[in-house]
Amino acid sequence: MAMRMWASSTANALKLSTAIRPHFSPAFSLSRCFSTVLEGFKYANSHEWVKHEGPVAAVGITDHAQDHLGEVVFVELPDAGSVVSQGKSFGNVESVKATSDVNSPISGEVVEVNSKLSETPGLINSSPYEDGWMIKVKPSNPSELESLMGSKEYTKFCEEEGGH
Amino acid sequence: MRVLTRSLEVWRLGVLNYLEALKLQEKLVSDRKGGKITDTLLSLQHPPTYTLGKRQIVHNLLVSESQLKSMGAELHYTQRGGDITYHGPHQAILYPIISLRDIGFGARKYVETLELTMIELASLHGVKARAGESGETGVWVGERKIGAIGVRISSGITSHGLAFNIDPDLSYFEHIVPCGITDKEVTSLKREVDSELPAEELIHEQLISCFVRLFGYNNVIWKDNPSLCDQQS
């Protein structure tokens, strides 16, 4: 795991486009822009992901999103206990002098916030689906997940969005 | 052959107070999100104003707020990215309220294109400018900063933007650590150009043209002296 993160951040530092990022999940698909998209995750069209695990769902931004943002230098997250709504902003990230809102893909109560991000905001770049998770939510309406995209749809979405 | 129309409405606002400009942007962002208006570009200048970004790194302000007031300057805390900066007369400001999703731009590409806009403007006057190194977003002539950027992106809609020094009073920058970068000077087009500069209005127009071209707009609608209370889309 440490090796993988090192490799990823070195690749970032050298500004290499890593077509294949090794990951624990056996199946992943590649978008034309070489961002990683993972199976078993759901995706919003504003480039956030959600992974439902039992009573709690973890939320973060995708590899495509972190790549398009640039190096994240600051992350603002809500407090545990706050309420988030699908499609509404719950926090923001700063990169390259841009503060970008991050929207929640699901509604519910924030039960945990990734405190590592205040010291190491770059985790969002180096590990967007694992160590760069942002909040954990107790979903108030799990059926919302059905309105989100699966990995294949999201990969296609990224390709279409970039192709102008 | 069908050509996709990309429209931009340009508002030339003259000198506008910071808070008024902020209120206007908030309204336009909301309208843009709701699809009520097309991409809009605000072109203006501010009276002497210092602004802090979202991280509120106040120690980069080297004087007290009351000293600022006695200089005739205002201080504002904002939601944009970036550090402390100064805005004032003879500094050209562009606030684009545009949809990044329509052009598939992320924050990084957007900011890079804003940098290019200022670099192109500088080159029109024979000045060779460049984008900053990593962590030094903005536009530089050598080791001197001529243009600054600080933006906010909400659901893919931008606000705030760029500031390009035509000929502002650079002494105002002495009261801050500009953009949190120590040991680097601030400069202006006036300082970098040997000959006389053309009228400022022309330079504003040139800046707008560079923006229009780099962002691929093919239909520009000019709105001069718009009513700020204009509720119609």
Complete DSSP assignment for B66-118: HHHHHTT-EEEE-SSSS--EEE-TTEEEEEEE-BSGGGT--HHHHHHHHHHHH
ipTM for the whole complex: 0.81
Query: What per-residue confidence (pLDDT) applies to A152?
Result: 92
Average pLDDT, chain B: 90
Residue B86 marked in a binding site: yes
Q: Does the residue B16 lie in any domain?
A: yes
Q: What integer pLDDT is reported at residue B23 of this predicted model?
A: 96
CA A95 to mean position of chain CA atoms: 15
With CA atoms as reference, report the closest residue to A122 among A2, A3, A13: A13
Residue B230: inside a domain, yes or no?
A: no
Residues of B serving a catalytic function are 179
What CATH number is attached to the domain comprising B191? Answer: 3.30.930.10
Query: Is the Cβ pair B81, A96 closer than 8 Å?
Result: yes
CB-count exposure of residue A130 (10 Å: 0-12, 13-18, 19+)? middle
Q: Which of residues 93-152 of A touch B (CB under 8 A)?
A: 94-101, 103
A46 vs B contacts (CB less than 8 Å): 155-156
Domain that holds residue B48: 7-224
Q: How would you class A20 by CB atoms within 10 Å of its CB: exposed for 0-12, middle for 13-18, buried for 19 or more?
A: exposed
Q: Tell me if A70 and B107 make a contact (CB, 8 A cut-off).
A: yes
| Fold exhibited by the domain A42-159 | OB fold (Dihydrolipoamide Acetyltransferase, E2P) (2.40.50)
Number of residues that make up chain B = 233
B141 CB near a chain A CB, below 8 Å?
A: no
B231 within a domain of the structure (yes/no): no
CA distance A124 to chain B (A): 15
Q: Which of A71, A98, A163 is closest, CB to CB, to B151?
A: A98
More confident: A39 or B182: A39
* Sequence-ordered list of residues with C-beta below 8 angstroms from that of B109, at least 6 positions apart, any chain: A68
Note the residue count of chain A: 164
Span B124-145, average pLDDT? 92
Number of structural domains chain B divides into: 1
Q: Residue A25: what pLDDT?
A: 37
Residue B119 lies inside a defined structural domain of this protein:
yes
Please identify among residues 3-32 of chain A the ones whose CB lies closer than 8 Å to any CB of chain B.
Answer: none
Known binding residue B103? Answer is: no
Average pLDDT over residues B167-188: 86
> Is B6 labeled as ligand-binding?
no
A61-101 pLDDT tens trace: 999 999 999 999 999 999 999 999 999 999 999 998 899 99
Three-state secondary structure call for residue B10 = strand
With a CB cutoff of 8 Å and minimum separation 6, the contacts of B43 are B10, B11, B12, B13, B92, B93, B94, B204, B207, B208
Task: Establish if B46 belongs to a structural domain.
Answer: yes
Q: Which of A140-149, B48-57, B116-125 has the lowest mean pLDDT?
A: B48-57
pLDDT of B59-106, one tens digit each? 788 888 888 889 899 999 888 888 889 999 999 999 999 999 888 898
B223 by Cβ neighbours in 10 Å (0-12 / 13-18 / 19+) ranks as middle
What are the strands of the beta sheet with B49-52, ordered from one edge? B74-77, B49-52, B85-87
